[in-house]
A and B are shown apart, each in its own frame.
Chain A
Amino acid sequence: MTKNPLNLRLSEIMSLRGSFEFYRERIDRYNDKLNAFLQVSNPSDSQKEGFPYALKDNILALGTRTTCASRILENYESPYDATVTSKLNNKGGIILGKTNMDEFAMGSSTENSAFGPSRNPWDLDRIPGGSSGGSAAAVAAGLAPFALGSDTGGSVRQPASMCGIVGFKPTYGLVSRYGLVAFASSLDQIGPLTRCAQDAAEVMAMIAGHDPKDSNTLRRNLDFNVSIESDVKGLKFAAPSEMLNYPGLDSGVKERFLSMMEAMRSAGAKVEEISIPSVEYAVATYYLIAPAEASSNLARYDGIRFGSRSPAEDYESLINKNRDSGFGEEVKRRILLGTFTLSATYYDAYYRKALKTRRIMAGELNRVLNEYDYIVNPSSPVIAPRLGEITDPLAYYLMDIYTIPANVAGLPSISVPIGLVDGLPVGLLLTGKRFSDVSLLNAAGGIEDLSPSYENGLAKIPERWAK
């Protein structure tokens, strides 16, 4: 190889011979430190031509195990290809391996993996974010040119932000969920983790589109075969005051964000502080809807057909024991929360109310987005915490406060790295109206131009991995 793939955009890597071996070698060399991959694939020599990518371990690929980082699916072999997997592979994609995650995508740190946490390439003592933390760490350390993750409440964008790369959640329904192990069906969306907006567009061009196997995919086709223009001039951004004044917002992050706003203004953008009152209820709404759907989606893991069987006296205790030993703490917490929320006694008080709040919030966001091009805020209120530093689950839930509104309303949203605070990446989040995905990527490209995180159009890799 004459060129170093770490300095190349995806379009160039796609036609570069030998790139699979290049990344594969890096995985062999570095994965012990990062625990980004749970398993690596071993294609035959003839199968190695094409472009490599990493797949979050909740997306099925025939011939791999799909564990969702859970004991209960530890030995589950995918009996079919997810739609995104077969689309990528048909274009010449080769799976490097399956990446680590929070169990069943529940978490914001990748600490909730049954197979140990992944680590942040910028500081190995810190979390990479989550739940697509393995995918983010893999791309940020240059172990894969891009990875797919799933974003239910920010699980692509938040780890991208904490690892200093781009994470994109498309409009709900643009990418098929067929073959994505469901967490919360009405919120889940597969999205790419890449090193620039242009690469995200390249991946989207390959995976987006109506899928007859997913009834929620949209019949509308967006053209992602575009060259991302780098300009924020003339664009109108709305910064919600509720988000800027959120007490949990780290001062360093806020400062970095505000100076980025200044840079955007200087480049000809209009940035205004506005109010979206309902976003304060985003986290509460999300933690009613997502666990409710999860409690139902995860019911199939009863230890009868998947997972290990525990000895038991009767059917009920068999299920209880199988599920108790198969699921981790956070998954059990959310299943219980969801079961409670949906129970006949509390359905009206909680679930129905959450659906109503969801509609109100979507309405407010859409109203703002009719007036402004994009909503802008930090991707996460904090930089990556240390492993084990946060023990209160609620504190983690609140870390998704900025990313959740896009899932609740089904809007496209992207996190772009905008520099470091205390040596750790900070991300900026842009959210657009439904179907504005392509122009949203363009706006992200404009911000990349102003961001100190980029070198030659690609998000920088921490120096220790750049060799």
Chain B
Amino acid sequence: MMYKTVIGLEIHAQLKTETKAFCSCRADVFDLEPNTVICPVCTGQPGTLPVLNERVVEFAVMAGIAMNCTINRRSVFDRKNYFYPDLPKGYQITQYFFPIAENGYLYLVNGEEKRRIRIRRIHIEEDAGKMVHQGTESITGSSGSYLDLNRCGVPLIEIVTEPDLKSPVEARIFMELLRDTLRALGVCSGDMEKGALRCDANISMVDESGRSSNRVEVKNINSFKFVEKALEFEQERISKALASGVDVAKETRSWNFSSKETYSMRSKEEENDYRYFPEPDLPELIISDDLIERIERSLPELPWEKVERFMEQYSLPGYDASVLASDSEISSYFEEVAQATGKPKESSNWIMGEVMRLMNDRQLSLEEVKVSPENFKELFDLIEQGKISNKIAKDIFPVIVENGKSPTQLVREKGLQQIDDDTVIEDAVRKAMNDNPAAVQQFRDGKEGVLGYFVGAVMKATKGKANPSKANEIARRLLRD
């Protein structure tokens, strides 16, 4: 039996506002000493009241517009009630009945396929605090638990998709798309490892007759890789169960990244009744047409818009365009280089190859690896004029990065100019023929592949500086003679 996979995501994105959602404590609390960024409001002292941060609204509207949502001119805050020590008020302020944005979509590009993934809703909410347990990872069995309320009131938006994703890979790509989008807007850092982007994934499987398994929710996934891995694990687990006729429990599971498995957190029967009701301490949120227009005007070019433009304007393949467009610094660097050199595809190759490799291998920022567009132009010119080979160019690239010298200067200093002199190459070929007559015989017996051996020998003798096409041509001529 074949099964179709149905996946929907609920993504929490931390907004990059200066202050928290409902008080004036600073919002960027990652890695701060516990309980150093708290006040009577965010810790829920008796008598305190929330005051909505207007930036939170602007950021949520930005995200909503970028995801093609309808922005609700009137939205309402609600309380989600449950007891937990890290929730000081005993309720979380969120939007349940009337969210700020609804009915949007993003285009997901997976290889040649481009599909619309619908966004059901985007709503604003506040984060809860954090517990640190002594001895164990959970509250049960620990010898003591500590509360860090720094995160209390940190603003989040929750983005809920329709169940339109068809595979774990798509789920991962969608998360990356979302991160790129939020980053481009400047509303979220997108750092999953710092908890700025968190994902709950819902998965179910449907058989050929259209019968669906129960839905399983995997909670709190905190890396792009794990989104894919956890869902692959579930896909496997559910389809096996279905194949053997076992009912899949409707439950909430968690991903254990060390065992690479999901495990059951709670079954649906134990599910909370959150007793949502309108938050009486906050008036309705009314969004003016002016605000929406202002935000629409200020919206930057979004990653997928950039992809399309890059494909068109620079004639780049889709893959190149999407890699470059995923990061706004890299994409604008690409554009500078492409314009300076007049060679977009080569620029793309160099940036996606050498520049990004250096960033990865040496853990450097783009700023540290940036070769100036002028130097890039020089480098391309040297290659085009046949003064250096592509290989030499790649060899000297890290040196340009390190000392910022111009390629021409470097090539001159190090004597790296390509050797075009026929006699030098002829000498090298002859020497190789003398050193290995057997190989010469092999070539003459029709084994053309041996040619590479002679070209290689020329390169070795000239320290890679010989013009490769000349080396090829001369070796072939002399071997035939």
Interface residues of A (CB under 8 A from B): 58-60, 66, 68, 73, 76, 78-80, 82, 177-182, 184-186, 212-216, 292-293, 295-296, 298-300, 302, 304-306, 314-316, 319, 339, 342-344, 347, 351
Contact = CB atoms under 8 A, between A and B. Distances in A.
Nearest to A188: B280
28 contacts: A60-B46, A79-B40, A80-B45, A82-B47, A177-B49, A178-B47, A178-B48, A178-B49, A179-B48, A184-B280, A185-B280, A213-B49, A215-B51, A216-B280, A216-B282, A299-B89, A300-B46, A300-B88, A300-B90, A304-B147, A305-B88, A315-B85, A315-B140, A342-B81, A342-B276, A343-B273, A344-B273, A347-B277
Contact of A315 (B139, B273, B277): B139
Contact of A351 (B45, B49, B81, B277): B277
A296 B275 contact: yes
Interface string B274-310: 0111001111000000000000000000000000000
Contacts of A315: 85, 139-140
A354 to B, nearest CB: 11
Interface string B83-110: 1010011110000000000000000000
Contacts of A351: 277
A186 B88 contact: no
Contacts of A216: 49, 280-283
Contacts of B283: 215-216
B280 A343 contact: no
Contact of B52 (A215, A305, A339): A215
B79 interface: yes
Nearest to A344: B273
Contacts, number: 98
A305 B43 CA distance: 10
Which secondary structure dominates where chain A touches chain B? loop
Nearest to A212: B51
B398 interface: no
A76 to B, nearest CB: 7
Contact of B44 (A179, A300, A344): A300
Contact of B47 (A181, A212, A316, A347): A181
Contacts of A181: 46-47
| Nearest 3 A/B pairs, CB to CB | A299-B90, A342-B275, A185-B280
Contacts of A186: 280
Given A215-B52, A296-B90, A339 B282 contact: no
Contacts of B282: 215-216
A212 B281 CA distance: 13
B34 interface: no
B373 interface: no
Contact of A304 (B48, B85, B281): B85
Contact of A296 (B79, B85, B139, B140): B79
Contact of A76 (B43, B46, B51, B85): B46
* Max count, chain A CB within 10 A of own CB: residue among B40, B52, B83: B83
Contact of B81 (A78, A296, A316): A296
Which secondary structure dominates where chain B touches chain A? loop
A78 B39 CA distance: 13
Contact of B140 (A58, A177, A314): A314
B81 A299 contact: yes
Interface in B112-165: 139-140, 147
Contacts of A212: 51
B242 to A, nearest CB: 30
Nearest to A185: B280
A59 to B, nearest CB: 8
Contacts of B276: 342, 347
A73 B47 CA distance: 12
Given A179-B48, A296-B79, 14 more contacts: A82-B47, A178-B48, A181-B47, A184-B280, A213-B51, A215-B52, A215-B283, A216-B280, A216-B281, A216-B282, A216-B283, A293-B280, A299-B91, A306-B46
Nearest to B272: A344
B186 interface: no
B50 interface: yes
B478 to A, nearest CB: 86
A291 B257 CA distance: 44
A196 B236 CA distance: 77
Contacts of B280: 184-186, 216, 293
A253 B43 CA distance: 47
A296 B277 contact: yes
Given A212-B51, A293-B280, A300-B88, A344 B275 contact: yes
A178 B46 CA distance: 9
Contacts of A319: 83
Contact of B49 (A76, A215, A296, A339): A215
B97 to A, nearest CB: 10
* Max count, chain A CB within 10 A of own CB: residue among B50, B52, B281: B281
A58 B46 CA distance: 9
A443 to B, nearest CB: 30
Contacts of B139: 315
* Max count, chain B CB within 10 A of own CB: residue among A306, A315, A343: A315
Interface string B375-391: 00000000000000000
Contacts of B45: 79-80
Nearest to A340: B275
Given A79-B40, A215-B283, A319-B83, A296 B47 contact: no
Nearest to A292: B277
Contact of B83 (A59, A80, A299): A299
Contacts of B40: 79-80
B202 to A, nearest CB: 20
Contacts of B47: 58-60, 66, 78, 82, 177-182
Nearest to B277: A342
* Max count, chain B CB within 10 A of own CB: residue among A80, A184, A298, A306: A80
Nearest to B83: A319
A82 B46 CA distance: 10
